[in-house]
Homo-oligomer: A and B are copies of this chain.
Amino acid sequence: MTSTSSTWGRLRQHLHTTQLLGGIHSTLYFDQNTAMPAAAAGWRGEQLALLAQQLHERQTSAAYQELLAGAEQELTPEAPAEQHHNLRLLKRELARQSRLDPALVGALAQAQAEGYSRWQEAKQRSNFQLFAPALERLIALRLKQAQQLAPVEAQADGSPRSPWEILAQPFEPDINKQQLAQWLLPLRDLLPPLLEQARSLPAGSSEPWDLSEPQQEELCSALLEGWGFNPERCLRARSPHPFSCTLGPDDFRITTRVVAGQPFSAFLATAHEWGHSLYEQGLPRTGEHWFPWPLGEATSMAVHESQSLFYENRLGRSQAMARRWHPRFRSALGRDVWGDAQAFWRDLNPIRAGLTRVEADEVSYGLHVLLRYELELALVEGGMPVAELPDAWNRGMQELLGVRPANDAEGCLQDVHWSEGLFGYFPSYALGHLISAQLSETLEAELGPIETLLAADGDAQLGAWLQQRVYPLGRSVNAAELVEQVSGRPLSHEPFGHYLRQKLEHLAS
């Protein structure tokens, strides 16, 4: 069934080459963000466009369609379920790609470039009106795209998906608004009282402090070394924004940056990106139905984020880690501005409402996402005029977080996503917190408290649990199914709420 002489075997070869090209694209992206000099941007843009075009052609060509059809004919009902599943995923992606009108794709690419450039200017001058026309056009084009995709984007029961839901599918397969309401709306009631409670927490360090770049680099390297970083397969580099990317089946890269005045930023970002990377490293890449088939891929953004948040928050910000790292930070700094590990731990966990999502703590974060989700729905499906966005944003911030941006730059212009017409992306960030908490609850039920394990240097045991229970699932399940399969219960906000309440209690003591 899988020799290269069969259609199925030739399909596998086709996907393998597609992965090679995709990896080249990722390498160019990695180089662009870690090495490439600025003046090379135009040339690199042409190279990325050339590869994107090659990839699109491979994924929609008549030859590929024939391969898929032939492989389907070859597939007997008795063939392993994974083969049927792979074929379904490939057919769905082909249907999606084939529905897209090239003219619309072109117009959208242009509107995205225009939107990004307008947004940069608008943000710099803190003037939303400079960006508003571009945003209007992006919304109109994305709605047209959703309309084109609608026939192939029905739900499993045949009922149609809403435009926002269609746009969210690439990030979060099978997501719908009903589920999101169930998962995210309770955060509206859960989080604000916790934020209020956090206002009375004792302070961490007795004075502001910072570490030099080489010192932070060394701490980040030590952190990764302790977590099994294998330089034979992994690389850490520097870039303006931290990210994780996979360049090949044995090539995993993460990047971090040192932020002046935020000496935990690189350390925690390293933990975060390493969580992403470990998930990628653990995806099923061996065996007949996995690499380079769709089943071997990451299943959703929310699951990806749950893995990075696990390493950042459950491990990196834990009390046990604070006890372990307090002496090293103290020694790097040359003095002890904390006095004890508990104060150092509080410093690792500042909790207070702020204006900026990317700087938000575990409690505030969900509220930032809720605001964006509600505004996206209003813009994309609710007919809210774009001109009303700044006011709606500011009102929402006041209501959810009790703070009010002084201008558009720190308000509705803060994130890049809408400038490129990316709608449907934000909820995955918040779902990541929920999933991480629910998986952690199961892990703790089976292995004991994470704090106890970390205190006994059982980091590898925690990692092994994820490697056995979560990573190997690949795309065989979506995010909701993954959580239910691992934890035995449907995803809910409750483990997350429980975790936050407990943490605040310990931070207060």
Residues of A within 8 A of B (CB): 17, 20-21, 23-24, 27-28, 30-31, 34-40, 42-44, 46-47, 50-51, 231-235, 237, 247-253
Contacts and interface: CB of A to CB of B under 8 A. Distances in A.
Contact of A35 (B21, B36, B51, B235): B235
Nearest to A250: B39
B28 A24 contact: yes
A35 B37 contact: no
A489 B247 CA distance: 52
Q: How many copies does the complex hold?
A: 2
Contacts of A27: 27-28, 31, 47
Contact of A40 (B44, B46, B248): B248
B39 A24 contact: no
Most buried by B among A40, A51, A248, A252: A40
Contact of A235 (B37, B44, B235, B249): B37
Nearest to A54: B54
Contacts of A232: 37-39
Given A28-B24, A31-B27, A250 B47 contact: no
A233 B35 CA distance: 11
Nearest to A252: B37
Nearest to A19: B43
Tell me if A's interface is mostly helix, strand, loop or mixed. Answer: helix
A283 to B, nearest CB: 15
A28 B235 CA distance: 15
B250 A37 contact: yes
Nearest to A249: B43
A250 B17 contact: no
B36 A235 contact: yes
Contacts of A34: 35
Given A27-B31, A31-B31, A39-B233, 14 more contacts: A20-B47, A20-B50, A23-B47, A24-B24, A34-B35, A35-B35, A36-B247, A36-B251, A39-B250, A40-B247, A40-B248, A40-B251, A43-B248, A43-B251
A47 B24 contact: yes
Contacts of A251: 36-37, 39-40, 43-44
Given A24-B51, A50-B20, A37 B249 contact: no
A37 B235 CA distance: 6
27 contacts: A20-B43, A20-B46, A21-B50, A23-B43, A23-B47, A24-B24, A27-B47, A30-B31, A30-B35, A31-B31, A35-B237, A35-B253, A36-B247, A37-B231, A37-B233, A37-B234, A37-B235, A37-B250, A39-B232, A40-B233, A40-B247, A40-B248, A40-B251, A43-B248, A43-B250, A44-B248, A44-B251
A123 to B, nearest CB: 23
Nearest to A247: B40
A279 to B, nearest CB: 18
A130 to B, nearest CB: 27
A42 B37 CA distance: 28
Contacts of A37: 231-235, 250-252
Given A28-B24, A234-B37, A50 B17 contact: yes
Contacts of A250: 37, 39-40, 42-43
A37 B36 CA distance: 19
Contacts of A47: 20, 23-24, 27, 248
A24 B29 CA distance: 11
Contacts of A39: 232-233, 250-251
